[in-house]
Every structure is written in structure tokens, then in C-alpha cells.
Chains A and B, each alone.
Chain A
Amino acid sequence: MSALVAVKNLTRIFDVSKPWLNRLLEGKPKAFLHAVSDVSFEIEERSVYALVGESGSGKSTIGKMVVRLLAPSDGVIEIEGVDLFREPDHDRVEKIRTDIQMVFQDPYASLNPRWRVRDIIAEPVTARGGKADGLAERLLEQVGLAASDASKYPHEFSGGQRQRICVARALASEPKLIVCDEPTSALDVSVQAQVLNLMSDLKEEFGLTYLFISHDLTVVEHMADRIGVLYLGRLVEEAPRDALFESPKHPYTQMLFAAAPKLDGFGREVAPPKGEIPDPINPPTGCAYHPRCPFAIDRCTQERPEMRQLGQNRVACHVAE
């Protein structure tokens, strides 16, 4: 097995300054938001890599950069050995782009309400000038809908069915990698199970690779082979699924696991985690987690921890062992 995706030192900075006149009048400097800082990971072919994190962790930003909807400020994204943003051969980049697809979070906003399902599903092919006769019908059956649904409009479908249509569209260009940005967080539990099962089946059938972005640990535990935990734009821990869930090393990962509600946690009284996610425009010095970390030492407040190997896990923490 080889790495299909290699992300190296990926960084994305957003300029969140107020308009220049306001800055001038209020005497404030430009403000920058480090949505993603120095993130590196690799995704094996035919595996599921999950990025977990809370709001502001930068997980969706990474997803958008991998599908080339956003350009990185720094760092490299290589897919099948081709640098997505620096490769000079335009045709090669376009070829790689057809190998990458995305399934979005909101099944209501991700289908154009004025288009028929047939045209929606065929778009990855037709937008590049290809012919797509019968493609939509075939894919609809593949995702568990009827071929006759092709001539309907999106509003005639429920949330779960719409997400199936989104998956069908993602399959149209015969991709290798599908980036799934919270694909089931807008769905009800019983429907979520259907969509997750569908995605697992399709992965086996087409030999797909998923980059799975989610805040839901239970879903991630079910789907992922390897997991990266993000906090405030940085990867704090990365490990194979079982290693991570059995022995999380980073205090943040431990906190996340402890805080997640458990189905068998009847009347569980846990000491709730302290603090909230800090303002990403002015993150804490040193390790960004130190103000909330129960194990923080002086070193954590000044020096940012580098990623280091700890058993099967890679951890960015001074004290973890």
C-alpha cells in the first residue's frame, strides 16, 4: 500500500482584518486567523482517514484545500505524487482533479434546487464536456434509489435520500478519493446508519479512499482506519483507530473522549472539562491547549511541542507518555 494523499506542513492563514478605513480610525493592526498551521499527514490508498476536532479546529479548511477549493498559504498537498498547487503541467492537475470528489455536510444546500437529479449527478462529467447517457440512472441504483428518480427535483427527496444523491454525484467522475465533510451530521440517527453503511459498501466496491471530516467520535470510530485530532488548527495527535481509542496520549484527546456522551453512561457524573476553545486570532502561546490542560507545566506555556512518535501514536505534547 502506498500513500494516495500526502499533506506536508499545510498552513492556511485568513486575513480577518476590518476594512482599512476602520483600521485607520481605530488604530488597529491587521488581524490574521491561522485556520490551519503546519499540518502533515498521509492517507493510504483504500483507507479511511478521519480528521476530528471541535469548531475552529480547521478540519473543514483542510478538506477544502485537498479538493482544491481553497489554496494553502504554505505547505504541499500531493495526490498520487502530483503537487496539487505547484505542478506546472495543467493537464496533469486537471486529470488529478477528476480523481477527487467531495460530499458536503448540508444535503439541502448541496443540490441545486432548480436542477433535475439526472443533471445534478452527471455534472462532474458534463461540466468537463463529457457525455453522460444513462450514468445518473445507473448511479442512482448503485446508491439505493430508483432509476426513475432521475427526472425528479431535489425537493421531492428526504435528507437521507439527498445525501445519497450527493454520493452518487461524487461517484460520477470515478474518483479515487472522496472528501466527506460531516456527511451525516445533518441527518437523524436511523438515516445516518443507512448513509454510513452505503459509504462503507461503496468503498469496498470501487476501492475508494475517504478523507472523513467529523466532530462525532462515534461515527469516526466506526468509519476510520486512521485518525488525526485537530485543536485550533494544529494536529495534536494522530494514530491508527484502535491505538487512539484504546490509549489516547494527548490530554486534549483524552478530554474529548471523556466528554462525549456515552450510551451506557446512565447518571454519569464526570467532572466537566474546564474552559472553552480560545479565540483563534489570538491563540495562547506555547501549546494552544495549555490553559485548559490539567497536566500543563511551565514549558507548555512557552514552547510549542513538536510531533513525536509515542508507540503507535504521533503526539504533539511535552508531557504525554
Chain B
Amino acid sequence: MTALAQAWRSDFMWSFRHSPVAVVSFFMVLVLVSGAVFAPLVAPHNPFDPASLNLMNGFSQPMQPNAFTGDVFWLGTDDQGRDVFSTILYGMRISLFVGFCAVLFAMVLGVTLGLIAGYSGGMVSTVIMRIADVQLTFPAILVAMLIFGIAKGFTPVHLRDQMAIWVLILAIGLSDWVQFARVVRGATMVEKRKEYVQAAHLNGRKAVGIMIRHILPNVVGPVLVIATISLALAIIAEATLSFLGVGAPPTQPSLGTLIRIGQGFLFSGEWWILFFPAVTLLALALSVNLLGDWLRDVLNPRLR
């Protein structure tokens, strides 16, 4: 209990409590993420259970009783009679899952390569960072589409829909490792020159041990910040890919897939099918991003 009280009084928590933006975006992220995680408990319907669907409920307007069945849906239904609120919750699950996994993948890859490049220097560093530079000259979404296309070509046809999510994670992760590598490489080069690393070296510690035990703990701060901001970007990248039809399949619709489906109905007046998933995506990306911005300000000693 005292440890908790101490944590509450720490500088970190203090600046959190004194930043309205951080508090609001934190609670928004909390609400959205828990809604996604507990979707089966929270959602009023299961949009993937065909037995529970009633085609008569199709195109229900938000908050208005359906003309045929009299059922009320908070955010309306789509053409199949699926509850939009429930599809958003389930869609967010997929969006967040892909986002988290992609960032985790990018982080592990980027941090490893950044550590190696920063610590060894010379040719190794040059090769890794040139690859990173080349990749940076392409828009991330283009890289992701390219990787997605190639990976799909290698997947057996009958597994494509199942594998789509993992291919998506791979594609977004590979398009995003560069910033992790760059930041970690820079920080590693700074840490490497510090005397505690020299001390470890002269005490006979091997390079891998120095990288993992000494340098890694001292470069995680900026990595966490990038990871948060990358999460927002990864969620958007996933939505973009899914919107373009190269992402999550309609059987596992993410927010992007929902928006793609919804835009087909926009001009026939059923705006809610597009509008609510879009607003959710905006809220999710914005709050994660604001939280990341705040984290960067707090953890960056130069701004203090």
C-alpha cells in the first residue's frame, strides 16, 4: 500500500494528474480498450452469429424502432441487420489486436537491429541503416501493401482468410521498425561511450551481455514513447489497408473494413453505418496519440 502511495506521489504521476489532456485521453483509451476486450460481455448482439440476425432489422436508424420488428438499436444496423454498436466493438478488437501485435513485432525487430547497429558500428551499422533509409523513402502504407501482396502470394488459397490477420501484422510491423531502430541506434551510441559500459567491457563481459544487460535498460524510455505513438499509426495503417480491401477480410471485419462497407451506403442515406466506426477510429487513434505525446514530454529530460 505504501508503495502505491509512493507511486501516486512520484513525479510521473504528478505530471499525469496535472495534465487534463493526459487524464482525458487515458480514460478514453481505457474505455475503448476495455470495450474491445470485453466485447462478448458488453455487446448487445453477436454480429458473427448468423442465427441471431434478422434480415428484417436491416438499415435500422439509430435510436429509432425498426419499422418491421420494432427493435431499437443505439447506433442502428447495417444491411444485414447487424447491430452497428456490436460490430464496432468486435471490429475494435481486431483493430487493436493487429495494432498491438504489429507494434510489438516492429519493436522487437527495430530494437534488436538498432542495438546491433549502434553497438557494433562500422559496416554492420551502415548496412542496417541504409536498408532503413531506403525503406523510409517509401510511404509506410505502400511498403505494407507490398509486403501484404507478396505474403499473400505465398499463402495457400484456402488459408488466406485465416492468415490475413497475421499477414497484416507482418506487413504493418515490417513497415514500422525503422523508427525504433533509428532511435535505439542513436541512444545506444550515446550509452556505449559512457564509462559504465567500458567498465563492463574491461570486466570481461561479452558484447551481447553488455547490449542486453547494460544498454537495453537505458534505452527503453524513448522506445516506450515511440511504441505508443506507433500504436496509433498502426491502427490507422490497419484501417487504411482494410479500407483499401487488402486487410482484414469481411468475415473478420476491423474498423477499417466497417468503414469500407459503410461508405457504400453513404449516398443512399444510411450514414450511420459509416459514421460511427469512423468516429470510433478517430477517437481511438487520437487518444492513443495524445497519450503518447504526453509520455514523450514527460520522459524527455531535455524538455524538463
Contacts and interface: CB of A to CB of B under 8 A. Distances in A.
A104 B205 contact: no
B204 A127 contact: yes
A257 to B, nearest CB: 30
Contact of B199 (A98, A100, A105, A110): A110
Most buried by A among B198, B209, B218: B198
Interface residues of B, number: 15
Contact of A69 (B194, B196, B198): B198
A113 B199 CA distance: 14
Interface in B187-221: 194-196, 198-205, 209, 214, 217-218
A16 to B, nearest CB: 16
Interface in A6-26: none
Given A109-B194, A110-B194, A123 B200 contact: yes
Interface string A106-124: 1001111111000010011
Given A113-B218, A114-B218, A97 B198 contact: no
A299 to B, nearest CB: 42
A94 B217 CA distance: 28
Contacts of B214: 112
Contact of A128 (B195, B203, B218): B203
A100 B198 CA distance: 13
A224 interface: no
Contacts of A127: 200, 203-205, 209
Interface of B: 194-196, 198-205, 209, 214, 217-218
12 contacts: A102-B198, A102-B199, A104-B198, A111-B196, A112-B196, A112-B200, A112-B217, A120-B196, A123-B203, A124-B204, A127-B209, A173-B203
Given A101-B202, A106-B195, A110-B194, 6 more contacts: A98-B204, A100-B202, A109-B196, A110-B198, A127-B203, A173-B203
- Report the 4 A-B pairs with minimum CB-CB distance, sorted nearest first: A110-B195, A114-B217, A104-B195, A127-B205
Interface of A: 67-69, 94, 97-98, 100-102, 104-106, 109-115, 120, 123-124, 127-128, 166, 169, 173
